[in-house]
A and B are shown apart, each in its own frame.
Chain A
Amino acid sequence: MNRALLVSALAFAFLLAGLASRQSGLFLLTLPLALYLLAGLWKMPEDVNLTITRATSAWRIALGETIQVTLTITNNGPGLEEVLVEDLLPTGLEVVEGSNRRLFSLPAGGMESWTYTLTGKRGYYMLHRVTATARDPLGLVSVSRLFATDGQLFVVPPVLRLRRISIRPRRTRIFSGSIPARQGGPGLEFFDVRDYQTGDSSRSINWRLSARHDELYSNQYEQERVVDVGIILDGRRNTNEIGERSIFEYSVMAAAALSNAFLSAGNRVGMLFYGKQIRWTMPGYGKIQREKILHDLSELEPSDSHALSELHIPHRRFPFRSQLVFISPLTADDFNAIARLRSQGYAVLVVSPDTVAFEAQSESPSENLSLALRIIRLRRQVFLNRLRGIGVHVVNWDVSQPFEQVARRELERRFLAQGNRR
Chain B
Amino acid sequence: MSLRRLSFSMTAIAAILLLAATLLAGHSWTAMLLVPGFALWAFSFWRKLSWAAWTGFALSGAFSLLAFLAVEGQPVNFYLLLLSVLLSLAGYDLADLESRLGIVGETEAEHAGRIRKHYTRLGLVLASGLLLAVVGFNWEISLSFGWVVGLTLLGALGLGYLARALISRQG
Contacts and interface: CB of A to CB of B under 8 A. Distances in A.
Interface of A: 1-8, 10-19, 21-41, 44-45, 82, 84, 99, 101-103, 105, 135, 137-144
Contacts of B133: 28-29, 31-32
B73 interface: no
B118 A137 contact: yes
A103 B82 contact: no
Interface stretch (B10-18, B33-41, B119-127): B119-127
Contacts of A5: 163, 167
A32 B158 CA distance: 14
9 contacts: A4-B167, A12-B163, A15-B156, A31-B136, A40-B166, A44-B166, A103-B103, A103-B111, A143-B169
A26 B92 CA distance: 20
Interface centre among B57, B64, B86, B125 (most CB of A within 10 A): B125
B146 interface: no
Main SS at interface, chain B: helix
Contact of B166 (A13, A28, A41, A101): A41
A17 B86 CA distance: 18
Contacts of B86: 32
Contacts of B121: 39, 137-138
A34 B136 CA distance: 14
Contacts, number: 166
Interface range, B side: 35 or more
Contacts of B65: 13-14, 17, 26
Given A19-B149, A44-B169, A103-B111, A30 B92 contact: no
Interface string B80-120: 01100110010011001100110111100001001001100
B1 interface: no
Contact of A103 (B61, B93, B104, B117): B104
B100 A139 contact: yes
A270 to B, nearest CB: 46
Contact of B85 (A17, A23, A32, A137): A32
Contacts of B130: 32
B104 A36 contact: no
A31 B125 contact: no
Interface string B20-52: 000000000000000000000000000000010
B166 A141 contact: yes
A84 B155 contact: no
Contacts of B171: 143-144
Contact of A84 (B97, B104, B169): B104
Contacts of A37: 159, 162-163, 166
Given A8-B163, A11-B159, A25-B78, A36 B169 contact: no
A15 B100 contact: no
A21 B69 contact: yes
A55 B128 CA distance: 47
B152 interface: yes
Given A14-B65, A138-B118, 8 more contacts: A1-B51, A4-B170, A25-B82, A33-B85, A84-B103, A84-B104, A103-B101, A141-B170
Interface centre among A22, A44, A139 (most CB of B within 10 A): A139
B104 A34 contact: no
B92 A25 contact: no
Contacts of A26: 65, 68
B132 to A, nearest CB: 5
B82 A29 contact: yes
A3 B170 contact: no
A140 B128 CA distance: 19
A29 B104 CA distance: 35
A179 B168 CA distance: 73
Given A8-B162, A84-B104, A36 B129 contact: yes
B48 to A, nearest CB: 16
Contacts of B64: 14, 29
Nearest to B76: A25
Contact of A35 (B92, B105, B132, B137): B132
CB-CB nearest 10 A-B residue pairs: A32-B129, A8-B163, A4-B166, A10-B61, A1-B54, A25-B78, A28-B133, A35-B129, A103-B104, A19-B152
B96 A139 contact: yes
Contacts of A25: 68, 76, 78, 81-82, 137
Nearest to B121: A137
Contacts of B93: 36, 138-139
